[in-house]
Amino acid sequence: MSIIVEHVSKTFGNYRALDDVSLTVNDGELVALLGPSGSGKTTLLRIIAGLEIPDEAENSAIYFHGEDVARRQVGKRQVGFVFQHYALFKHLSVFENIAFGLRVRPRHLRPTNQQIHDKVTELLRLIQLEGLGRRYPSQLSGGQRQRVALARALAIEPKVLLLDEPFGALDAKVRQGLRNWLRRLHDELHVTSILVTHDQEEALEVADRVVVMNQAKIEQVGTPAEVFHHPASEFVIDFLGNVNVFHGRIEQGKAVLSGLAVGDRAAGKSAAASEIRQSHLYVRPHELEIERHLNGSPAIPALVSRINPAGAFAKIALTTNEGGDIQVDLPLERYEQLGLRQGETVFVSAKKARVFTPDYVI
């Protein structure tokens, strides 16, 4: 079931939640809507579900598999919705929670008791909770409850599965396990799915494609690798994980930025060679290198202010002569080879960088 959203806007009073948003989700795809609070991702999800009505516009439309559903009621869109806070019925067992959507169907559409039993039993197997059907939500862990909520949404065999921050209320370790489980489940079922999240790691790990949203608009759409390695804007690279920002300028087609070398760069097709533009250089912590001595390449002198070697990378906090902070992530082998000490002066260079100017992306 493909989903096409065309020129959708939504205002609440004077607040613009969505501003002329268009998006295509392919059949069987898992797409993550990623962005900070207030970016419009949940509003877009609710409009796709039919829980919110978009502003009237002549060219606005929502298509499910080529059929316009913009004016179709939520109950007739065959959408499964999973919320952050489970929304399970406390007085019903796990089995009956999952069966609920089947039991409330009109009589002529309702499965038999045996069919419901078989369906719920299969879903309990799918969510790895066999044998827990008689328990109540209060007797389950948070991760188990969220899996029950997902099974309840799948019980009605939805054409589209919509997940609104489904793991946001869980601790980090449980979230990691559920992310892996959700990805495996999607690979098995291939239900067209949209996941709303503000967790960059979650979106990059789970989704086939990521839609980065900001201030009611879509900033970039691409695979996890595309949005991470080829960000379309300063917002995208700044939002997708930790990043160091250096200020400088483009001069004669070259980047001149705080002593860091980024090679010859053109400032844009329409920019004159002699034009000077203010620019920002973005470098992720693992894209920086530390040397004890200058080796002929441009580098920034900095003081080692803090070292945290716990984890897959040693995290080195540095302070420049101007008082700026730099974060470097070094492989443990490289960190041990350097033998860094707090308080000593080192030299920092960039292995890779992205340069943005106000009007051009390089």
DSSP 187-245: HHH--EEEEEES-HHHHHHH-SEEEEEETTEEEEEE-HHHHHHS-SSHHHHHHSS--EE
| Residues 180 and 204 reside in one and the same domain | yes
Alpha-carbon distances of 168 from 111, 197, 208, 216, 240, rounded to whole Å: 34, 8, 20, 21, 18
CA dihedral 242, 215, 180, 170 (to 10 degrees): 90
| Residues 233 and 254 reside in one and the same domain | no
- Looking up tokens 């000593």 gives 344
Last residue of a domain, one of 220, 239, 258: 239
Predicted pLDDT at 354: 86
Predicted pLDDT at 166: 85
Distance CA 148, CA 143 (A): 9
Helices and strands, number each (H, E), in the chain: 9, 19
11 in the Ramachandran plot: left (φ > 0), alpha (ψ -120 to 50) or beta? beta
Last residue of a domain, one of 204, 222, 239: 239
Domain housing 322: 244-356
Residues 6+ apart with CB under 8 A from 314: 307, 308, 329, 330, 331, 332, 335
Q: Identify whether 362 is part of a domain.
A: no
Predicted TM-score (pTM) of the model is 0.85
What's the one-letter identity of residue 173?
A: K
Q: Is the pLDDT of residue 32 over 50?
A: yes
Distance CA 223, CA 231 (A): 11
| Residues 209 and 259 reside in one and the same domain | no
Q: What is the mean pLDDT of residues 215-232?
A: 96
On average, the pLDDT of the chain sits at 88
Minimum mean pLDDT among 91-100, 137-146, 192-201, 249-258: which range?
249-258
pLDDT digits (tens, 9 = 90+) for 169-186: 678 888 888 888 889 889
Band (271; pLDDT cuts 50, 70, 90): very low
Structural tokens at position 227: 């949005």
pLDDT digits (tens, 9 = 90+) for 320-359: 988 889 999 999 999 999 999 999 999 999 888 888 876 5
CATH of the domain at 176: 3.40.50.300
CATH of the domain at 337: 2.40.50.140
Predicted pLDDT at 35: 95
Query: Per mean pLDDT, which of 149-153, 197-201, 302-306 is the most reliable?
Result: 302-306
Q: Identify whether 58 is part of a domain.
A: yes
CA 164, 165, 171 angle in degrees (round to 5)? 155
Q: Is the pLDDT of residue 148 over 60?
A: yes
What's the one-letter identity of residue 248?
A: G
Last residue of a domain, one of 207, 239, 271: 239
Q: What is the CA radius of gyration of the chain?
A: 25
Q: Is the pLDDT of residue 74 over 60?
A: yes
Structural tokens at position 135: 């328990």
Structural tokens at position 155: 């019980």
Distance CA 107, CA 75 (A): 16
Q: What is the mean pLDDT of residues 10-20?
A: 95
Q: Is the pLDDT of residue 195 over 90?
A: yes
